[in-house]
Amino acid sequence: MTVEEDKALGRPDYWDSRYAKSDGDDPTHEWFRSFADLEPFFHKNLFETQGVKAEDAPLILHLGSGDSVIPVELESRGYKQQLCVDFSPTVVSLMTERHAEFNGIQWKLADVRNMVDIADKSINVAFDKGTLDAMIYGSPWSPPDEVKDNTSRYMKDCAYPARITVEKQAAACQGYLLTS
Per-residue confidence at 3, pLDDT binned at 50, 70, 90? confident
For residue 119, pLDDT beyond 80: no
Instruction: Identify how many contiguous H helices and E strands the chain contains and give both numbers.
Output: 8, 5
Instruction: Residue 16: give the domain boundaries.
Output: 3-22+32-178
In a domain, 27, yes or no: no
Non-local (6+) Cβ contacts of 71 within 8 A are 60, 62, 65, 82, 84, 99, 102, 105
Distance between CA atoms of residues 150 and 135, nearest Å: 7
Percent of the chain predicted with pLDDT > 90:
30
In a domain, 120, yes or no: yes
> Closest Cα to residue 92, out of 61, 63, 66?
66
Distance between CA atoms of residues 44 and 177, nearest Å: 11
pLDDT, tens only, 125-154: 888 888 888 888 888 889 889 989 988 888
Distance between CA atoms of residues 155 and 113, nearest Å: 8
Inter-helix orientation angle 12-19/89-98, to 10°: 40
Model pLDDT, residue 28: 64
The predicted model gives 147-173 an average pLDDT of: 60
pLDDT, tens only, 13-49: 888 888 888 776 666 666 677 888 889 988 988 898 8
Per-residue confidence at 121, pLDDT binned at 50, 70, 90? confident
Give the phi and the psi of residue 148 in degrees, each rounded to 5. Answer: -60, -40
For residue 113, pLDDT beyond 80: yes
Cα–Cα distances in angstroms (integers) from residue 71 to residues 67, 95, 106, 124, 152, in the given order: 9, 11, 10, 15, 26
pLDDT, tens only, 55-65: 999 999 999 99
Amino acid (1-letter code) at residue 16: D
Q: What is the CATH number of the domain that holds 65?
A: 3.40.50.150
Total number of domains in the chain: 1
The predicted model gives 71-96 an average pLDDT of: 94
